[in-house]
Amino acid sequence: MKKKTFVTLDQVKEMNQQYPTPFHLYDEKGIRENARKLKEAFSWNKGFREYFAVKATPNPFILKILQEEGCGTDCSSLTELMMSEACGFTGSDIMFSSNVTPAEEFKKAKELGAFINLDDFTHIAFLEETAGIPETIFCRYNPGGFFKLGTDIMDNPGDAKYGFTKEQLIEGFKILKTKGVKQFGIHSFLASNTVSNEYYPMLAKILFELAVEVKEKTGADIKYINLSGGIGIPYTPDKEPNDIMVIGEGVRKAFDEILVPAGMGDVSIFTELGRFMLAPYGCLVTKAIHEKHIYKEYIGVDACAVNLMRPAMYGSYHHITVLGKEDAPCDHKYDVTGSLCENNDKFAIDRMLPKIDMGDYLVIHDTGAHGFAMGYNYNGKLKSAEVLLQEDGTTKLIRRAETPKDYFATFDFCDILDNVKQ
């Protein structure tokens, strides 16, 4: 089975004259259309807002596109807060959801007027001591145990380091009320990368019922429910993608059945999507530069796990298209590898692909989220450029490739590498 690329061989050849491979490429048209569809799916909720998970694709050019589409940012570190501020996000444009949080990060979030989402009961006292308690605050809920859809176990919240227990949440809301909090939000994340239209409605039902119970037991004014992330994408071509319109309608139904009768019909719904927002609209463009014939057939490309860590880290599947050979028979079995001194530096194992010749361009799909962002510098490899395919068909560099000077920059406090030729 196939996945369709948003870029052609001729386009890539032209790009390669300006941007050496490998590079990450993003589809502006697809990003904007997807953001608008999400907004439409939740248009029934007056206060709905998407807070894009910056960790998925921390690029200011991408953030500005999403800002133009009405999104805020979901930040989990000081640098993500700084990037959001530099892009013009401020106050309620920012959701700060972190864990094991350093004091300086709470201070920055408070300074920006961001929504602060507490991960732990002890963070109440810690936030008060370090930055002060704001009038609006969120708390993250962990129900424990296993999270199931039907008979399928989707994830194991009980084994996750995140969130308050229900008892802690109730006690925490009571304490926060005494400290001047006037408006509350509830947040939860129970499963990652779900390819199911049932996940969000099920999560919403759990959180809506929790909100009603917590309000009854604490008297807290719950204004916001944050469904966080978890809506995934089909990395393999045999799966159907989520239908965001069906998902939005499922959440609406739960809202009308649970919150409206409880007098909570003014609650705003928030989301913190990353993978759903960006992954299908980014790809890694790389070139075949070596072939090897030993016990298996290997194709070596000029990208490596530095550029896309997920296959090496998780064994994740990313579909590969050989540009110009989309209709050729997939009658060759290859391992597609990078050059790191690690045997897990493989983008595909025993993958059936068309015959690959040296110089062929390969598109590795669905890297728009958690692709470039997870890069690193093992073996002294340098991170690639990021390029935006704009709506008018032109391209724009949105991050230059790293140079050796960048790699050596953290030794600028001394002269030990002053004689390095760059």
Task: Count the domains in the chain.
Answer: 2
Give the pLDDT confidence score for residue 416 in this predicted structure. Answer: 92
Asked if the structure places residue 407 within a domain, the reply is yes
Single-letter residue type at 381: K
Rounded-to-integer distance, Cα 356 and Cα 94, Å: 46
Residues 157 and 190 in one domain: yes
Quickly state the pLDDT bin for 149 (edges 50, 70, 90).
Answer: low
Residues 300 and 319 in one domain: yes
Q: Return the CATH number at 256.
A: 3.20.20.10
Rounded-to-integer distance, Cα 186 and Cα 172, Å: 12
Give catalytic residue positions. Answer: 341
Alpha-carbon torsion, ordered 115, 118, 122, 127, to 10 deg: -20
Residues 269 and 295 in one domain: no
CA diameter of the chain: 72
List pLDDT tens digits, range 343-390: 999 999 999 999 999 999 999 999 999 999 999 999 999 999 999 999
- Please say if the pLDDT value at position 150 is more than 70: no
Residues 50 and 185 in one domain: yes
DSSP string, 201-264: HHHHHHHHHHHHHHHHHH---EEEEE--S-B----STTSPPP-HHHHHHHHHHHIIIIITTTT-
Residues 312 and 246 in one domain: no
Asked if the structure places residue 290 within a domain, the reply is yes
Single-letter residue type at 214: V
Give the pLDDT confidence score for residue 191 in this predicted structure. Answer: 83
- Please say if the pLDDT value at position 112 is more than 80: yes
Domain boundary among 249, 278, 307: 278
Asked if the structure places residue 421 within a domain, the reply is no
Asked if the structure places residue 58 within a domain, the reply is yes
Residues 262 and 347 in one domain: no
What percent of the chain stands above pLDDT 70?
Answer: 97
- Please say if the pLDDT value at position 95 is more than 60: yes
Rounded-to-integer distance, Cα 181 and Cα 261, Å: 25
Give the pLDDT confidence score for residue 151 in this predicted structure. Answer: 52
In this structure, of 97-106, 154-163, 203-212, 332-341, the range with the lowest mean pLDDT score is: 154-163
- Please say if the pLDDT value at position 35 is more than 80: yes
Asked if the structure places residue 13 within a domain, the reply is no
- Please say if the pLDDT value at position 1 is more than 70: yes
Residues 68 and 105 in one domain: yes
Residues 381 and 318 in one domain: yes
Across 135-144, average pLDDT: 94
Give the pLDDT confidence score for residue 295 in this predicted structure. Answer: 97
Q: Which residue range(s) make up the domain with 325?
A: 280-411
Average pLDDT, rounded, for the chain: 95
Quickly state the pLDDT bin for 198 (edges 50, 70, 90).
Answer: very high
- Comparing CA positions, the residue from 263, 256, 311, 307 lying closest to residue 284 is 307
For the entire predicted model, the pTM comes to 0.95
Give the pLDDT confidence score for residue 366 in this predicted structure. Answer: 98
Alpha-carbon separation of residue 331 from 236, 264, 422 (angstroms): 19, 58, 44
List pLDDT tens digits, range 244-271: 999 999 999 999 999 999 999 999 999 9
Residues 262 and 129 in one domain: yes
Residues 273 and 380 in one domain: no
Asked if the structure places residue 344 within a domain, the reply is yes
Asked if the structure places residue 9 within a domain, the reply is no
- Please say if the pLDDT value at position 148 is more than 60: yes
Residues 363 and 252 in one domain: no
Rounded-to-integer distance, Cα 365 and Cα 323, Å: 12
- Please say if the pLDDT value at position 154 is more than 60: no
Residues 317 and 369 in one domain: yes
List pLDDT tens digits, range 308-341: 999 999 999 999 999 999 999 999 999 999 999 9
Quickly state the pLDDT bin for 2 (edges 50, 70, 90).
Answer: confident
